[in-house]
C-alpha cells in the first residue's frame, strides 16, 4: 500500500473520531512547553552499521527545544540477518514517498529529512546543522493541551501560497528505546533510540483558519508511547510535502 493510499483510507475514520463530543474537560489541563522551529526525521535501521553515529546525533538534537527530532526505523534491511524491532513498513513507505516527491529517488540509511523537503546523511553533523539552519521557518502555530479526557490541538497561522490545505498528523512517540542487537551488521551492540515514532495517523485537514482538533484520552496511550507529536504537512497526490508546523508534549499522565 502506498503512503498516499494509507493516508486517505485512515483519514475518514480519524476525522469521525475527532468530531466526537467530549463534554466538559475536568482536572488541570497540561499544555505543551515545546516550541520547535524545524522537524528532523531520521530514517534509520538496527541492521545498518552506518546508523549508530546518526542515532547519537539525533539524541543530541532531542535536547534542543527548537528542533523536533524523530526516529523512524525502516524495515527494508531486515533481510541482512536482524529484524529491526522498531522497524515499520509505514516508515519505509514514507521515506520512499519523500524521495518520489523530490524526484531524486534517493532512499538510504541514515537519511535525515528536514521539514519534509531537504535530505542529508544523518551521520554528517555539519551537513545536519547546515540543513537545520537553512530550513524554512514554520508558518503554522500548533498549541497542544492535554487533560484527563482528551488531547486538544489548536492550529493557526497561514498556508503557503498555492496550498489549499494541510494534513494534521498525530504521532505517538516513545522518548527512548534501548535495543540489544543480536545479529546483523550491528551484532553485539546496544543502541538507544530517541523520540521513536510508534505510529503516524492523520486526524484532520487544516485550511488556514484557526481550527481545533480533538482526540480522546484512550487514543493517547496506544503503542506504549509517552509523547505525542503533531505535524502540519502540505501533502498532495504526489506524496508528503513541506512541514509548516509542529509541536510535541508528554502524555505520561494518561497512565495515571
How far apart, in whole angstroms, are the C-alpha atoms of residue 118 and residue 112?
A: 8
What is the structure's pLDDT at 33?
Answer: 66
Judge contact between 139 and 158, C-beta under 8 A.
yes
How is residue 254 annotated by DSSP? G
How far apart, in whole angstroms, are the C-alpha atoms of residue 61 and residue 248?
A: 14
CB atoms closer than 10 angstroms to residue 229: 25
What is the structure's pLDDT at 255?
Answer: 45
Q: Residue 237: CB partners within 8 Å, gap ≥ 6?
A: 4
- Expressed as residue numbers, the domain containing 227 is 3-255
pTM equals: 0.86
Q: Residue 192: CB partners within 8 Å, gap ≥ 6?
A: 55, 59, 176, 177, 178, 179
What is the structure's pLDDT at 15?
Answer: 41
Write out the E strands in the chain. Answer: 30-31, 38-44, 67-73, 111-114, 118-121, 140-146, 150-157, 166-180, 190-206, 211-216, 227-233, 243-250
Cα–Cα distances in angstroms (integers) from residue 102 to residues 43, 145, 169, 228, 249, in the given order: 16, 34, 20, 28, 30
What is the structure's pLDDT at 29?
Answer: 67
- For residue 113, the domain's CATH number is 3.40.30.10
Query: What is the residue-level pLDDT of the chain in tens, covering all 256 positions?
Result: 444 444 444 443 444 334 333 333 334 567 666 679 999 999 999 999 999 999 999 999 999 999 999 999 999 999 988 999 999 999 999 999 999 999 998 999 999 999 999 999 999 999 999 999 999 999 999 999 988 788 999 999 999 998 999 999 999 999 999 999 999 999 999 999 999 999 999 999 999 999 999 988 877 766 678 899 999 999 988 889 999 999 999 987 544 4
Looking at the structure of the chain, the number of domains it has is 1
Q: What is the side-by-side strand order in the sheet with 30-31?
A: 30-31, 140-146, 150-157, 211-216
b/e map 190-199, b = 16+ CB within 10 Å: ebebbbbbbe
What is the structure's pLDDT at 53?
Answer: 98
- What does DSSP say about strands 38-44 and 67-73: parallel, antiparallel, or unpaired? parallel
> Which residue from 124, 128, 123, 215 is spatially nearest to 169, judged by alpha carbons?
215
Amino acid at each position: 500500500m502506498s503512503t498516499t493510499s494509507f493516508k486517505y483510507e485512515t483519514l475518514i475514520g480519524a476525522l469521525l473520531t475527532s468530531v466526537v463530543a467530549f463534554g466538559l474537560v475536568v482536572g488541570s489541563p497540561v499544555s505543551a512547553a515545546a516550541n520547535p522551529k524545524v522537524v528532523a526525521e531520521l530514517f534509520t535501521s538496527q541492521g545498518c552499521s552506518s546508523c549508530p553515529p546518526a542515532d547519537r546525533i539525533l539524541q543530541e538534537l532531542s535536547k534542543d527545544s527548537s528542533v523536533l527530532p524523530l526516529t523512524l526505523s525502516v524495515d527494508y534491511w531486515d533481510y541482512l540477518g536482524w529484524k529491526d524491532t522498531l522497524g515499520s513498513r509505514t516508515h519505509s513507505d514514507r521515506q520512499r514517498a519523500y524521495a518520489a516527491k523530490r524526484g531524486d529517488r534517493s532512499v538510504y540509511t541514515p537519511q535525515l529529512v528536514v521539514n519534509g523537503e531537504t535530505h542529508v546523511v544523518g551521520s554528517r553533523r555539519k551537513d545536519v546543522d547546515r540543513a537545520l539552519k537553512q530550513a524554512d521557518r514554520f508558518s503554522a502555530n500548533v498549541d497542544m493541551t492535554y487533560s484527563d479526557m482528551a488531547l486538544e490541538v489548536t492550529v493557526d497561522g497561514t498556508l503557503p501560497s498555492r496550498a489549499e490545505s494541510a494534513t494534521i498528523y498525530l504521532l505517538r512517540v516513545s522518548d527512548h528505546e534501548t535495543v540489544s542487537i543480536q545479529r546483523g551488521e550491528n551484532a553485539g551492540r546496544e543502541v538507544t533510540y530517541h523520540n521513536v515514532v510508534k505510529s503516524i495517523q492523520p486526524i484532520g485537514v487544516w485550511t488556514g483558519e484557526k481550527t481545533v482538533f480533538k482526540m480522546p484520552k484512550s487514543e493517547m496511550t496506544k503503542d506504549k508511547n509517552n509523547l505525542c507529536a503533531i505535524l502540519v504537512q502540505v501533502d498532495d497526490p504526489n506524496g508528503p510535502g513541506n512541514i509548516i508546523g509542529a509541536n510535541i508534549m508528554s502524555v505520561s499522565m494518561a497512565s495515571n
